Structure 1
Amino acid sequence: MESENYDYLLKLLVVGDSAVGKTSLILRIIGEEWDSNITPTLAIDFFQKIQKLSNGKTVKIAIWDTVGQEKTLTNSYYRGANGIILVYNVENRDTFDHLSSWIEEIRIHGGKKIPIIIVGNKIDQFRSVSFNEASIFASERDILYAETSSKTQFGVKEMFELFAEKIIETKLENIKTKDGFVLKNQSKNKKNNNNCC
């Protein structure tokens, strides 16, 4: 069993159309073997992983899997989320075309500043969406982009570490800009401007 010592605790949501490989991707992230007989997710599922990052810090991540239907996701599902992994299937053009509506839903329920990574999954299959097209789509929206194969595990670890580190970087910036923290720093450096004797 993995140690419960960690520097950061994050909640990630994995969303996207049905049958894009969300559950398979999550299982690979947490270290499970490839299973070609995974059944479709029927309800929200939950997984955990403790990961050591390249900066030496350890992060405990709660990963939430979804059914793959926008109407099932509510504000309460997004509450407390630190990042969204938006998955599409590179061999199914429709799943790519639906990304805009997913991003709109994420921004409505998760906020405009929540970090998102778009993941083109199943790159071991025939491709209907080019890497170039998808990366430009993501870049135009200031969203990270990665490609993976849950089957071969290509890119899974790199995508996950990249996104976790980006979230922590963003989270630390947000902590540094909160009023309470800034006020404490200002009060340490505040000079006594009292002109009294």
Structure 2
Amino acid sequence: MGSDEPYNFVFKVVLIGESGVGKSNLLSRFTKNEFNHDSRTTIGVEFSTRTVQLDSITIKAQIWDTAGLERYRAITSAYYRGAVGALLVYDISKHLTYESVERWLKELFDHADPHIVVMLVGNKTDLESVRTVPTEEAKDFAEKKGLLFMETSALESTNVESAFIDVLKAIHKKVASREVTRGSISAVTLSNPNAMSGEQEEKKPCCKNL
């Protein structure tokens, strides 16, 4: 999963949602297969990558975690710039985090590419006994809004891999079907020698520069 692996495309994916819903642990579970029980609210932005194989295509996912973004609105536009996929996360045991989903969705569409692939993610299914957000309610909301939907548990590593992979597959499907241009969704193919410079430009606005 090293960053020096050859790849065909690079896709920027962002994690959004209220603090405490488990965004950081979803990121660390997918990129490092780790879970931090003492995870604290992160200030600003965290950034990690993972290279995955989808059939004959190798995709490098650049995953940005908004940890605490709701307190740092100044970085919003830079955070969303170039994103082609998003996981909008809520906590199934805290209904208030689900109630804010529509606001996060509006902010996402205000700042991100209109063709962005969005998945609504109900995290912390390990807390099923204290669930306050019914699966069907969230699933119906996602369908009405044209979003993908999945419930996960970063703690138990349930559906975390599937959630990220499904988003990456949906992004690649848009590219392959020419529904959007590669430039529009910041997808880089290494078969095009001119794409390399574009990739470097896309990687510049990392969290260290914000």
What is the TM-score when the length of structure 2 is the normalising length? 0.79
Q: Distance in 2 between matches of 1:9 and 1:112?
A: 18
Q: Distance in 2 between matches of 1:58 and 1:35?
A: 28
Q: How does 1:93-108 map to 2 (within 5 A)?
A: 93-108=95-110
Q: Distance in 2 between matches of 1:46 and 1:93?
A: 28
Query: Residue 13 and residue 91 in structure 1: after superposition, are their counterparts in 2 closer, same or farther (change >3 A)?
Result: same
SS at match of 1:162: helix
Return the letter of the residue paired with 1:60: K
Identity among equivalent pairs (%)? 31
Higher mean displacement: 59-68 or 21-30: 59-68
- State the structure with more CA Rg: 1
| Post-superposition offset of 1:73 | 4.4
Return the letter of the residue paired with 2:37: S
**Quick one: which of 157, 181, 186 aligns to 1:175?**
181
Q: Distance in 2 between matches of 1:41 and 1:8?
A: 29
Q: Distance in 2 between matches of 1:76 and 1:68?
A: 12
Q: Distance in 1 between matches of 2:14 and 2:41?
A: 17
Higher mean displacement: 164-173 or 18-27: 164-173
Q: How does 1:65-104 map to 2 (within 5 A)?
A: 65-66=65-66, 67-69=68-70, 71-104=73-106
CA deviation string 1:40-80 (max 9, x = no partner): 11111110111112x23111011111124173542222111
Query: What is the count of residue pairs matched by the alignment?
Result: 176
Q: Distance in 2 between matches of 1:90 and 1:11?
A: 26
SS at match of 2:126: coil
Q: 4+ runs of 1 displaced by more than 3 Å?
A: none
Whether 1:157 aligns to 2:161 is yes
Q: What does residue 47 of structure 2 align with? A: 46
Q: How does 1:102-141 map to 2 (within 5 A)?
A: 102-125=104-127, 126-141=130-145
SS at match of 1:75: helix
| Post-superposition offset of 1:148 | 0.4
Q: Distance in 2 between matches of 1:73 and 1:171?
A: 28
Q: Distance in 2 between matches of 1:120 and 1:35?
A: 19
Q: What does residue 15 of structure 1 align with? A: 16
CA deviation string 1:142-192 (max 9, x = no partner): 00001100000000111111111001111332138x9xxxxxxxxxxxxxx
Unaligned runs of 5+ in 2: 185-210
Q: CA RMSD in A?
A: 1.7
Q: How does 1:14-33 map to 2 (within 5 A)?
A: 14-33=15-34
Return the letter of the residue paired with 1:58: T
Unaligned runs of 5+ in 1: 179-197
CA deviation string 1:11-58 (max 9, x = no partner): 0111100000000000011133222011111111110111112x2311
